Amino acid sequence: MAKTKRQFPSPRDLAPFLKFKRFEFNATTRRLNGAFTIEDLRNIAKRRTPQAPFDYTDGGADGEVTMNRARDVFRQIEWRPRILRDVSSIDLSTKTLGLNMELPFGIAPTGFTRLMQTEGEIAGAQSAQEAGIPFCLSTMGTRSIEEVSDAAPKGHNWFQLYMWTDRDKSMALIERAKAAGFEVLVLTVDVPVAGDRLRDKRNGMTIPPTLTPRTIINAIPRPAWWMNLLTTEPLKFSSLDSWNGTVAELLDNMFDPTVSFKDLAWIVRQWDGPVVVKGVQTVEDAVLCVKAGASAVQLSNHGGRQLDRAPVPFEVLPQVVAEIGMDAEVYLDGGIMHGADIVASIAAGAKLTFIGKAYLFGLMSGGRPGVDKAIDILRGQMTRTMRLLGVNEIAELEPALLTHLAKRPERLR
């Protein structure tokens, strides 16, 4: 057997292997440069955020069955890629409700957002404006309608409404959103009462945060979060009065459990523009929403944070699209943590998708740059997935591109 000839490497030969990565002095940039997935951002967020606000973002209701099923459903997708297509140019833009969007996803409404990171909704709205996607401000937001409008005057700003027992206050919010130039009203309908969010109960999740010995001990290794909280303006709900109690108690005291489809029709008339109904979980209710005047329905189980063991939106999507797709647009949220999840949702019939946890993980990881990073990660994953599928633009995505393994006929042995 021939022996391999060896020699001592010269400095010139070693030079290509001895190039060191340039050190990044900005700590936020350095952190975010190491994140390649939304899960990476989640891990950074967990290290930097006290347990109570992190768990509020990360958790679900009861046993968190629904929340976990939503992720499992996307893992069960099998692609059917096309080959020998020119995919040198990928177009991720789309149009919804007559509005041009650069990407087929938006930022979902999230409550208590400045508790996660002090830049809160302003960071989300400005990132969305730059990316050309919708930003939906929650009734439970910690920045006001006017503040968001001023921060992102050219953005696709949407307003999410909970109907309160005090109808006059609800209508006042609608008028303010209309005056501030918000494009779309999103009525959330799956919160007649708060879901049983056990993580929040165990953490004593209150607004403002409850300072218990456990809270303080948990916060010791996270001084930046406390510094931001204590040296910026006090945390408050910008659309409602102050509250001292748990999140669940607030929801139960505020929200109107008597809201009906008649109320939906009335709200559509009050807004006099596109209305999206968020929280639809059955075909039958989707049909009733369209009959009441909704421009779009958003299939959502509140990220698994309300009724545990509720339907998973992705699994309901094909039937809803088949039933109302000619009359209204269909959106989807829940479980989206990868650009491929968005591609699959659009291929299965959704017009638009929304991210909640993925956005907040970016926010907690690095404020506005962290939100930009989350959007960039999803954009890159979408682009790569579409290229590998042999698809050039959003309009080419169709159900034939994917199979759901759990529903696929058993293969012959």
β-pairing, 156-161 vs 134-137, is parallel
117-147 burial code (b ≥16 CB/10 A, e <16): bbbbbbbbbbbbbbbbbbbbbbbbbbbbbeb
**Tokens 């005047």 belong to which residue?**
293
CA distance 166 to 151: 29
Yes or no: say if 382 and 101 are a contact pair by the CB < 8 Å rule: no
Q: Rounded to an integer, what distance in angstroms lies between the CA atom of residue 290 and that of residue 283?
A: 11
Which sequence positions are flagged as catalytic?
302
Integer Cα distance of 361 and 366 in angstroms? 9
Cα dist from 1 to 48, 319, 375, whole Å? 58, 67, 56
Q: Count other C-beta atoms under 10 Å from residue 388's C-beta.
A: 15
Q: DSSP 3-state helix, strand, coil percentages of the chain (rounded to 5)? A: 45, 15, 40
Is 141:111 a contact under the CB 8 Å cutoff?
Answer: yes
Q: Are 196 and 59 in contact (CB under 8 A)?
A: no
Vertex 115: Cα angle to 70 and 247 (nearest 5) = 65
Contact between residue 147 and residue 236 where contact means Cβ atoms under 8 Å apart: no
Q: Using CA atoms, how far apart are residues 214 and 216, in angstroms rounded to an integer?
A: 5
Q: What is the CB neighbour count within 10 angstroms for residue 43?
A: 15
CA distance 320 to 280: 10
Contact 288, 260 (CB under 8 A): no
Q: Which helix (H) or strand (E) holds 364?
A: helix 357-389
How far does the chain reach from its first CA to its final CA, in angstroms? 45
